[in-house]
Amino acid sequence: MKFVKLDRKGFIPLTVFLLGLSFLCIIFFSSFGTVRVPFSDILKTFFAMPPDKIESSLILRLRIPRIIGSFLAGAVLAVAGNSFQLVIQNPLADPFIIGISSGASFGAVLFTALTVNTAIRIPFGIEGSALFFSVLTSVVVFLLAKQGRKIPILSLVLSGVIISFLLNSLTTMMSVLYWKNVIHVNIWLLGSTADFDWADITVILLFLILQLLIVFFLSRKLDVLSMNEDLALYSGINPDKLKLAVLSVNIAAVSVVVSKSGIIGFVGLIIPHLVRSITGPYSRISTFYCIFTGGIFLSLSDFVSRTFFAPTELPIGVMTSLVGAPVFIYIMKVKGKKV
């Protein structure tokens, strides 16, 4: 796959295009749902001229938070996936390789099972439980992979796979034992952005900004590390400290998204591939464009899942998998032919 380095002439038009497309997507997607809202009313709401009170409430409390939340969640997942692939130097790496999704799944099912069947109460609700176990799982994976002062890439990947298998088995076991009480968790495990509110958007936005600050600040070192770990050492870079800094921030950001929306796969795997095929492997540029492409992709997936199958709503994780799996197979086949 050949990379094309964007110059300033190409950078500015593409950025303006993506900004405009992102805004149009928010306007367009906000108009559709169980109740059709005219585009003019959406625009009035954006420019502080509320139309009807009922429509204004529908737009501001339900539609726009869900769409902006989907956009930001997609941006976080795509940026994290790009960072993981650069740091781990593996195109198959994505945020869930460290066991984040498995930890969140286990936390959600455990919370529900304990709440319904015992007197034990886990604070901060199902989202807090999912967040806690996803972070805890990541820490365990890092500790297992650590060899002395180093964290080899192969050990990290293998540790993530092993812990994921273990937690998936425990999640399945609890689902079977307490199926009457935890069956509704299956919808959460397949992903949903229906419950996003402005508070969730604020939290996700803060973590997205933190991701961007870390990647942009460490971009030169990250570019060297993505080429070769030995080259990074010869350049005076400490690969382990760099990995820890980048991965820690992205794990925290993805954990927050998973705790709010459930498991949404393939965004962090597919989007970075597509972006880098246009921008090249440069971390700062590819990260910047992952914000828009990841956000547009997930908000589009959410739009399709809630409108094309109405009155039933398809879990957004199912939609991203249906789109992501064929795209990933195509990328791998094309890339394989060029090697």
Please answer whether residues 102 and 163 qualify as being in contact, where contact means their C-beta atoms are separated by less than 8 angstroms.
yes
**Residue 94 resides in a domain:** yes
CA distances in angstroms from 333 to 1, 91, 94, 272, 330, listed in the order given: 11, 13, 19, 17, 5
**Residue 294 resides in a domain:** yes
Joined tokens for residue 29: 């997607």
What amino acid is encoded at 97 in this protein? I
Please answer whether residues 292 and 82 qualify as being in contact, where contact means their C-beta atoms are separated by less than 8 angstroms.
no
> For residue 339, what pLDDT is reported?
39
Domains contained in the chain, number: 1
**Residue 274 resides in a domain:** yes
Which CATH number goes with the domain that contains 269?
1.10.3470.10
Q: What is the pLDDT of residues 270-285, one digit of tens each?
A: 899 889 888 877 888 8
Phi, psi for 194 (deg, rounded to 5)? -65, -25
Q: What is the pLDDT of residues 63-99, one digit of tens each?
A: 888 999 999 999 999 999 999 988 887 777 788 777 8
CA distances in angstroms from 5 to 205, 270, 286, listed in the order given: 28, 20, 10
Q: What is the pLDDT of residues 185-243, one digit of tens each?
A: 666 678 888 888 899 999 999 999 999 999 999 988 898 888 877 788 887 888 888 88
**Residue 339 resides in a domain:** no
pTM for this entry: 0.86
Q: Which of 238, 280, 304, 297 is nearest to 76 (CA)?
A: 297
**Residue 290 resides in a domain:** yes
**Residue 178 resides in a domain:** yes
**Residue 1 resides in a domain:** no
Give the confidence band of 288 by pLDDT, cuts at 50, 70, 90: very high
Looking at the chain, the whole-number percentage of residues with pLDDT higher than 70 is 82
Note down the domain range covering 223: 8-334
Give me the residue label for tokens 């625009």. 43
Q: Rounded to whole angstroms, how far apart are CA atoms 40 and 259?
A: 34
